[in-house]
Amino acid sequence: MPKSILLFCLLFILAPSSILQAQNGRDVWYFGTRASLKFTPGEPDPAPIAFSSMNTFEACASIADDDGNLLFYSDAESIWQKNHNLMPNGFPLGGNSSASQGALIVRGVGSTRDYYLFTLDSKENNLRNGFRYSLIDMRLENGLGAVTKRGVPIPLPEAVLPTEHLTAIPQDNGRDYWIIVHGFNNNKFYAFALTADGLSSTPVVSSVGPTFSAATTAQTGVLRGSPDGRRLAVTMLLGGVQLFDFNPSTGEVSNGLALITPSDGGTLKQSRCVGVEFSPDGSLLYTHEGASVLQFDVFSNSAETIRASRRELGILDENYVGDFLRGPNGKIYIAVFNAPGLRILENCNSIRNAYLVPGTNSLYLFARSQYGLPDYIANPILEPSVVQDEFQITGEPSCAGSPSLFSSYVRGTKRVLRNVTWTFSPDATVYTGSQIAPVFLQPGTRELQATAEFTDGSRMVQTRQVTIPPSATVRLRTETQTGTLLCGESGILLTAAASTEGTFSWADGATTQPTRRVSEPGTYRVTFKSAGGCTVTDSVVVSQPLTACDLPNIITPNGDNENQRFVMKAFQPSNWSVAIFNRWGKQVYYQVSYQNDWQADGQPAGIYYYMLRHKNTHEELKGWVEVVR
């Protein structure tokens, strides 16, 4: 049995009724512009409810009783009873309805009638009201509830203000909770223990990950715990998405991993990250970058594997995307600003079959959503589920004639892999092993079938089409045979020639053209990708001139071939015209394309003057040379 499922079952058996009963607390959602939903067991989706007193931009929280009936709801500024009247002493709470996770309701430990409402201020108010809590007693007002403590400050160490991130995760003891926020202008998480004795005044502080600063609008975003309470995912509006490990025993956060990094350029709509949510089994993470809905496989402990698993599920063509929230039915619902409905992600446990339900308003509301969805406890006491798609194969084919690397892995620990058989058709070639590197000599499409055999005798099969692109070659050459920079030239021309159609890219990103002129010494590398996807590279070394860029001031044309001619060393002489004059100004030699061959034939010893002119740049060099015989 996988450790995660074993922990799941133990928690289900050992957890006190206060946590188990809290499952139905998520059955009623109040959010947005007077929007509300009711989840009913056995129904595929929740049904809209016709009335709400709340109009909130982001912050929202609601709680139901053990039978799934509404108790109260809040926008971080006010609290409304189930009859939609303002709760006595329920305003002002000190929070702000424009905070991403400005409100969170947690039932008091060991109680059935006492509730905490935690609130945060927003960046629009410079976060100045900070982190606060209010206490609600549902025994009062004939069971409609009243606020007994309102807007009590919860100071962070060193007077740090919190961002708009707020979540709660049950502790490993199955009884208490961690209430978690993040500091502004630092990289610190603050986890406060909530026990039967109340809220701890001293948080567990974890310094990990990037600084949440105004530079990436990191005040705004969502902090979400995984169903097993051992992972935290966090978004920063223009700062991307981060994944962390969380220890529910100690409250410590560790091992930050950037899944999406801040975008350079682009519009706010293209770059923003707000919503994030885990699949019901915790193996997959769903988020977005701009309007692009993304999936990450976070079951692995490998940072490289997690990043490489990024998959786009679809593009939302509506307005700005808001929060993601998993419902009691296991689906994930997506808020879209000012939309008359929510978008829906189905099959959220499946790495291959998860999909974004078509339609602008997949779940229609009798109202409008805004950016926020209700903030709830990341509760691990969910209906047990098995990680789907255990056996996976990865790899991309290389060119014909080159090794193509394919790998297999198991996403769970329920079964132990014994062997993998790889069959390619129509070649009928067979390979074995968890990793193979076959060489296909001919291009074309093949059907790959990978069969996993487990130690318990069971098998799983994955199939995919593999297209081997034709081989390609690229040759990078310099305009000079030696690749040496020449004096007086505007660099040296590099030319890449490929065997087929495709695109070029240079290692330094200077251009995508096959030719370029360079003026600095170094190694230059070009990559060519054919239209079929075959990638090859070549490089050349450009070196400094072999000698100094000097012209001779003496020649001795006496027939011994030592210093016999006027030689333009480290130059390309054919690019220069040469005119030579005697001391009386009479031209005694001229050549349009010089060949390093003037040796003062028929001229007496003495001083001569030269004028050189480059045929392309028109640069002129003037000087004198002495002829000694």
Q: Transcribe 427-473 into DSSP letters.
A: TTEEEESSEE--B-SS-EEEEEEEEEEETTS-EEEEEEEEEEPPP--
Q: Using an 8 Å Cβ cutoff, are 496 and 476 in contact?
A: yes
Residue 308: enclosing H or E segment and its boundaries?
helix 303-308
At residue 389, the pLDDT reads 67
What mean pLDDT is predicted for residues 179-202?
97
Give me the pLDDT at residue 382, please: 32
Give the mean model confidence (pLDDT) for residues 456-484. 84
Contacts of 506 (CB under 8 A, 6+ apart): 512, 516, 524, 525, 526, 527
Please check whether residue 180 is in contact with residue 169, taking contact to mean a CB–CB distance below 8 angstroms: yes
CA atoms within 13 A on the CB side of 227: 30
Distances (CA, A) of 287 to 145, 163, 204, 214, 224: 36, 20, 27, 21, 11
Q: pLDDT-derived band of residue 25, with 50, 70 and 90 as boundaries?
A: confident
* H helical segments located in 332-398: none
In this structure, how many other beta carbons lie within 10 angstroms of the beta carbon of residue 270?
12
CB atoms within 10 A of CB 551: 18
φ/ψ of residue 535, rounded to 5: -115, 125
Is residue 522 predicted with pLDDT exceeding 80?
yes
Of 112, 113, 91, nearest to 103 by C-alpha is 91
Tell whether the model's pLDDT for residue 381 goes beyond 50.
no
pLDDT digits (tens, 9 = 90+) for 540-582: 998 887 777 778 999 999 888 889 999 998 888 999 999 999 9
Residue-averaged pLDDT of the chain: 88
Instruction: Give the pLDDT confidence of 591-627 residue by residue, as tens digits.
Output: 999 999 999 999 999 999 999 999 988 889 999 999 9
The tokens describing 468, both together, are 């081997």
- The HSE-up count of residue 265 (CA atoms within 13 Å, CB side) is 0
Greatest CA separation for the chain: 125
For the segment 31-35, the average pLDDT, to the nearest whole number, is 96
d(CA 119, CA 101): 8
Task: Classify strands 284-289 and 292-297 as parallel, antiparallel or unpaired.
Answer: antiparallel
Confidence class for position 414, pLDDT limits 50, 70, 90: low
Model pLDDT for residues 87-110, shown as the tens digit of each residue: 999 999 999 999 999 999 999 998
Query: Is residue 379 very low, low, confident or very high in pLDDT (cuts 50, 70, 90)?
Result: low
Residues with Cβ < 8 Å from 91, sequence gap 6 or more? 77, 78, 79
Q: What is the DSSP string of 1-66?
A: --HHHHHHHHHHHHS-HHHHGGGGGGSEEEETBTEEEE--TT-SS-EE-S----B-SS--EEEE-T
- Name which of 14-28, 262-276, 519-533 the model is least confident about: 14-28
- In 3D, which of 265, 262, 246 has the Cα closest to residue 254? 246
**Residue 6 pLDDT > 50:** no
Name the phi and psi angles at 24, rounded to 5. Answer: -75, -10
Residue 4 pLDDT > 80 = no
pLDDT value of residue 617: 85
CA distances to 27, 45, 330, 471 from 42, in Å:
12, 9, 12, 55
Residue 128 reports pLDDT greater than 80? yes
Q: What pLDDT is stored for residue 454 in this prediction?
A: 83
Q: What is the pLDDT of residues 354-371, one digit of tens each?
A: 899 987 668 988 899 999
Q: Contact, 547 vs 486, CB < 8 A?
A: no
Cβ-contact 93, 74 below 8 angstroms: yes
Query: Cα–Cα distances in Å, from 515 out to 209, 259, 480, 512, 535?
Result: 42, 36, 14, 9, 18
Closest among 89, 122, 93, 88 to 105, alpha carbons compared: 93
Q: Provide mean pLDDT across the span 465-488.
A: 86
Q: CB 13: neighbour CB atoms within 10 A?
A: 8
The bridge status of strand 606-614 relative to strand 576-581 is: antiparallel
Mean pLDDT of the 232-247 span: 95
Nearest Cα to Cα of residue 69 among 139, 136, 167, 144: 144
Residue 246, beta-bridge partner list: 253
For 553, how many CA atoms within 13 A lie in the half-sphere containing its CB?
A: 5
Average pLDDT over residues 311-317: 88
Which range of 180-194, 228-242, 458-472, 609-623 scores highest in mean pLDDT? It is 180-194
14: buried, middle or exposed (CB in 10 Å: 19+, 13-18, 0-12)?
exposed
Beta bridge partners of 72: 63, 81
Q: For 22-31, 48-57, 409-418, which range has the lowest pLDDT when averaged over its residues?
A: 409-418
Is the pTM higher than 0.85? no
Q: How many CA within 13 A on the CB side of residue 35? A: 30
List all residues 6 or more positions away from 343 whose beta carbon is below 8 Å from its beta carbon: 316, 318, 333, 334, 336, 356, 357, 361, 362, 363
Distances (CA, A) of 559 to 367, 599, 603, 624: 101, 10, 14, 22
pLDDT bucket at 318, cuts 50 / 70 / 90: low
Report whether 162 contacts 182 (CB < 8 A). yes
Residue 96: name the closest of 145, 167, 163, 168 by CA.
163
**How far is residue 462's CA from residue 417's CA, in Å, rounded to a whole number?**
14
Query: pLDDT (tens digit, 9 = 90+) per residue, 129-170?
Result: 999 999 999 999 999 999 999 999 999 999 999 999 999 999
Structure tokens at 600: 């003062």
The percent helix, strand, coil of the chain (3-state, each to 5) is: 5, 45, 50
Give the least confident one: 32-36, 237-241, 430-434, 541-545: 541-545
**What average pLDDT score do residues 281-292 get?**
91
Give the strand pairing for 554-555 and 620-627: parallel
Alpha-carbon distance 151 to 149, whole Å? 7
Residue 21: count of CB within 10 angstroms of its CB: 16
At 517 the three-state DSSP class reads: strand
